[in-house]
Structure 1
Amino acid sequence: MSAYALAHLRRAPVHDEVLEYLERIDATLAPFGGRFLVHGGTVEVLEGDWPGDVVILEFPDLATARAWYGSPAYQEIKPLRTRHLAGDVILVDGVEPAHDSSRMAARLRRNTAR
C-alpha cells in the first residue's frame, strides 16, 4: 500500500540554501522509489486557513517512507530547508484501491455500538 510524506510549509523569502535543497532532494528520493505528487502548486482553500504551500511525496509503503526520511542523504540536506522554512511534515499510509468509506463507516458504527 502506498504511503505519503506530506509537508505544509509556510511561505518565506527564497534563500540560496532552500534552492540547494531543491536541487538535491530528487537524488534522495530515487533509491526509495519516492516521487513528487504535489510540489508547491496553487492552493485553493475551501475550509479553514492554509497559510503556505503543500508538498506530497509518494512512496511504495510506510516503511520505505520512514527509511527515506531517516536516510543519511536526506538528513544531510534537511537543515537546508528547516533553517529557512517553518512547517509541518507527516508520514501517512494511503488506502487500498478498493477502499470504501461506507464500509469504513459500518465498521466504526459496530465498534462504537459495543
Structure 2
Amino acid sequence: MPAYAVGHLHDVNVGPDIVAYLKHIDATLEPFGGRFIIHEGKVTLMEGSWSGDLIVIAFPDRDSAHAWYDSPAYRQILPLRTRNSRGDVFFIEGVDADHKATDVLAGVPADQPLG
C-alpha cells in the first residue's frame, strides 16, 4: 500500500541551507522510490484557514518511507531544513484504488464517533 511523507512547513528561510537541501533531496528519494506529489503550489482555500507550505512525497510503502527518512543521505541534509523552517512532518498510508468512504466504518460500532 502506498505511503506518504507529508510536511506542513512554516517560516521557511530560503537561504543557502534551504537551497542546498533542495538541490540534494531528489537524490535521497530515488533509491526508495520516492517522488514528489505536492511541493508547495497555489492553495485555493475553500474552508477553514491555511498558512505555510505543503509537501507530499509518495513512496511504494511505509517501510520505504521510513528507510528514506532514516537513510544516511537524508539525515545528512535534514538539518539544513530543520534549522531554517518549522512545521510538522509525518507518514500516512494511502488507500487502495477501490477504497470507498464507508470502508473506514468496518469494525466501528454504529454508536461510536470516528476519530
TM-score between both structures, scaled by the size of structure 1: 0.89
Which position in structure 2 is the counterpart of 1:31?
31
Instruction: Classify 1:23/1:98 alpha carbon distance in 2 versus 1 (closer, same or farther; 3 Å).
Output: same
Which position in structure 2 is the counterpart of 1:16?
16
Q: Deviations over 1:52-91 (max 9, x none)?
A: 0000000000011001001110000000011011111000
Instruction: Classify 1:111/1:76 alpha carbon distance in 2 versus 1 (closer, same or farther; 3 Å).
Output: farther
Aligned length: 112
Contact 1:43-1:53 at 8 Å conserved across structures: no
Which position in structure 2 is the counterpart of 1:90?
90
Q: Tell me by how many angstroms 1:13 deviates.
A: 3.5
**Separation in 2 of the partners of 1:74 and 1:8?**
18
Which position in structure 2 is the counterpart of 1:99?
99
Instruction: Classify 1:5/1:110 alpha carbon distance in 2 versus 1 (closer, same or farther; 3 Å).
Output: same
Q: Tell me by how many angstroms 1:98 deviates.
A: 1.4
More helix by share: 1
TM-score between both structures, scaled by the size of structure 2: 0.89
Unpaired runs of at least 5, structure 2: none
Instruction: Classify 1:106/1:31 alpha carbon distance in 2 versus 1 (closer, same or farther; 3 Å).
Output: closer
**Separation in 1 of the partners of 2:32 and 2:21?**
18
Larger mean CA deviation between 31-40 and 93-102 belongs to 93-102
Q: Tell me by how many angstroms 1:45 deviates.
A: 2.4
**Separation in 2 of the partners of 1:99 and 1:73?**
35
Contact 1:11-1:51 at 8 Å conserved across structures: no
After TM superposition, where is structure 1 displaced by more than 6 Å over at least 4 residues in a row? none
Contact 1:32-1:68 at 8 Å conserved across structures: yes
RMSD: 1.6
